Amino acid sequence: MKAMVIEKYGKTPLRLADRPMPEVGEHEVLAEIRAASINPIDFKIRDGKLRMLLKYEMPLILGNDFSGIITRVGDKVKKFRVGDGIYGRPRKSKIGTFAEYIAVHEDDIALKPRNLTFEEAASIPLVGLTSYQALHDTLQLTAGQKVLIQAGAGGVGTFAIQLAKVMGIYVTTTASEAGTELVKSLGADQVINYKTEQFDQVLHNYDGVYDTLGGEALERAFRIVRPGGQVVSVSGLPNARFGAEYGAGFLKTTALRLVTRKLTKLEKQYNVKYSFLFMKPSGGQLGIITAYLESGAIKPVIDRVFPLDEAQQAMQYSESGRAKGKIILRVKCE
């Protein structure tokens, strides 16, 4: 099968290669991939930034979510059959959606929303699950509470704003002037133009922050959260609490404690809990998201579609920061 691979860690370009067809376990399905999407974790894996937590052999097929059609099912698969249209986020040990086929556990997929194209469906799994787990599971926000969602016009933000509004949450987001109209159309109650305003000088007493930026923006987020509130980040550093929960071991957990001392200090200073989110695949949660999509309560936002063999150009476009919504790889036409 054809696939886009990297040969080593670092900012080396993806190349199109022939790879063996995946072996299918008894609880797995073989999916013919129709579309995949570009996500920030693709860059982190490529650059080797997750080597402390994830081990991969080279050459490595990148890609962390997809849509497609089942062409084969394992002997113990109960939920799906050949011919089903599906979408999902494979578990971290089984990534590789920038390819023509993938073997994926049945617990990590759901039936494709009936009203979406394969390209639209492929835009959802990773950002959808990440946002659901951030807003619902970690922050545990309820109707009437307030959240700041960073970078609202991006791939994660465009979904997270819509999900938060479905949950009845008051949403503030950051965006440039070019992205303001988009995020307002998705339901954002307040928009901070990050080029002209500092969000921590405008906002106060928020229940939570969903950080997608890391760095200085993450550190400033503590200032706007009420005592007892939370900051959850998908771009910051994992802390020792995460290391212990993840089972990283004593040495790695100690290393994480050291590199996140500043965040721990901010936690204590503002009485705000910090969590690093390493999203978990879940077909069950995708099923919940499917209902929102099929009802029209949440709609995919796609910026651009590239063919599979232009995955390198798609990655470069994503890294430019110009995209509004998701960037899709079309693997096979519908």
Q: Is 282 domain-assigned?
A: no
Token reading at 274: 């910090």
The total number of structural domains in the chain stands at: 2
In this structure, are 64 and 75 located in the same domain? yes
Q: In what order do the strands lie in the sheet with 146-149?
A: 190-193, 170-175, 146-149, 206-211, 225-233, 273-276
Cα dihedral 231→223→258→241 (10° resolution)? -30
Alpha carbon distance 148, 280 (integer Å): 22
Q: Is 155 domain-assigned?
A: yes
CATH code of 38's domain = 3.90.180.10
In this structure, are 40 and 120 located in the same domain? yes
In this structure, are 8 and 100 located in the same domain? yes
pTM score: 0.95
Model pLDDT, residue 334: 60
Q: Is 167 domain-assigned?
A: yes
Q: Which residue has tokens 């835009």?
A: 123
Q: Is 229 domain-assigned?
A: yes
In this structure, are 138 and 258 located in the same domain? yes
In this structure, are 151 and 187 located in the same domain? yes
Model pLDDT, residue 322: 84
In this structure, are 172 and 249 located in the same domain? yes
Model pLDDT, residue 298: 98
Distances (CA, A) of 30 to 51, 80, 94: 27, 11, 12
In this structure, are 103 and 209 located in the same domain? no
CATH code of 132's domain = 3.40.50.720
Domain residue limits at 52: 2-124+300-330
Q: Is 288 domain-assigned?
A: no
Query: Residue 15 contacts by C-beta under 8 Å, 6 or more apart in sequence?
Result: 4, 5, 6, 7, 312
In this structure, are 115 and 148 located in the same domain? no
Closest CA to 211 of 300, 135, 123, 124: 135
In this structure, are 164 and 26 located in the same domain? no
Q: Is 103 domain-assigned?
A: yes
- 43: how many CB neighbours lie within 10 A of its CB? 15
Q: Is 283 domain-assigned?
A: no
Q: pLDDT digit of tens for each residue in the chain (334 aa)?
A: 999 999 999 988 999 999 999 999 999 999 999 999 999 999 999 999 888 888 899 999 999 999 999 999 999 999 999 999 999 999 999 999 999 999 999 999 999 999 999 999 999 999 999 999 999 999 999 999 999 999 999 999 999 999 999 999 999 999 999 999 999 999 999 999 999 999 999 999 999 999 999 999 999 999 999 999 999 999 998 888 888 887 888 888 898 899 899 999 999 999 999 999 999 999 999 999 999 999 999 999 999 999 999 999 999 999 988 889 999 999 986 6
In this structure, are 143 and 266 located in the same domain? yes
In this structure, are 179 and 206 located in the same domain? yes
Q: Is 146 domain-assigned?
A: yes
In this structure, are 164 and 256 located in the same domain? yes
Alpha carbon distance 126, 114 (integer Å): 19
